């Protein structure tokens, strides 16, 4: 191998940078899923309450 070939380094992000992107995507998906789940639960409780299901009569 010549000296020129030894000096060539790969360009682009390092191995740590490749992991940061998907980690943020996964966290965003999990946060969105939790938000949707909580909003759905609150909406269901409000609809049930307004329909009189919690009156106990």
pLDDT tens digits along 38-57 = 999 999 999 999 999 988 76
Global pTM?
A: 0.56
Which three-class secondary structure state does DSSP give residue 52?
coil
Q: What is the pLDDT of residue 55?
A: 84
Q: Which two tokens stand for residue 45?
A: 């409780």
Per-residue pLDDT, averaged over 16-24, amounts to 71
Cα 2 from Cα 29, distance rounded (Å): 48
52: left (phi over 0), alpha (psi -120 to 50) or beta: left
């Amino acid at each position: 191998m010549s000296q020129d070939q030894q000096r060539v380094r790969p360009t682009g992000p390092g191995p740590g940078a490749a992991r940061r992107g998907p980690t943020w995507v996964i966290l965003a998906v999990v946060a969105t899923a939790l938000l949707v789940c909580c909003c759905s639960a609150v909406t269901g409780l409000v609809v049930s309450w307004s329909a009189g299901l919690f009156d106990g009569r």
